[in-house]
Amino acid sequence: MHELSICRNIVTIVSDAAKGRRVRKVTLEIGKLSGVMADAVAFSFDIATQGTALEGAGLEIKEIEGRARCLECGAEFPTATLFEACACGSRNVERIAGEELNVKSMELEEAA
């Protein structure tokens, strides 16, 4: 499952950064155009964190709406698909948000 391997990557990144401390909470940013299902990530997170520094950690997912900018007229507009045309008719648009898959922040337990 795609989301499970994503969660395993997140576990690797976060446990490296935690340097042996336990992780209380992880906040992710997932763009709605990234093709990653937030629900599936939440489900996979519990599996991927078992036996790691993240076991039992809370997970918060911030979903990011897609946005695009038209390269013809400069308009910015929300977009729910990867290939949406601008209101001016141009399809020469670039995506400026919505493809994120980031570890936004994490909370660690106090060092002993």
In the complex, which residues of this chain contact Zn ion (CB under 5 A)? 70, 72-73, 75, 86, 88, 90
Q: Give the nearer residue to Zn ion in terms of CB position, either 41 or 93.
A: 93
Q: Give the nearer residue to Zn ion in terms of CB position, either 5 or 90.
A: 90
Q: How far is the CB of 85 from Zn ion (least distance, A)?
A: 8
Contacts of 12 (CB under 8 A, 6+ apart): none
Token pair 């990557």 is at which residue?
9
Token pair 């141009």 is at which residue?
90
Q: How far is the CB of 81 from Zn ion (least distance, A)?
A: 16
Phi and psi angles of residue 63, each rounded to the nearest 5 degrees, phi first? -90, 135
- Alpha-carbon torsion 1, 52, 105, 13, what sign? negative
Q: Structure tokens of 79?
A: 């977009």
Q: Give the nearer residue to Zn ion in terms of CB position, either 33 or 70.
A: 70
Q: How far is the CB of 57 from Zn ion (least distance, A)?
A: 43
Q: Give the nearer residue to Zn ion in terms of CB position, either 1 or 71.
A: 71
Q: How far is the CB of 16 from Zn ion (least distance, A)?
A: 43
Give, for 59, the enclosing helix (H) or strand (E). Answer: strand 58-64
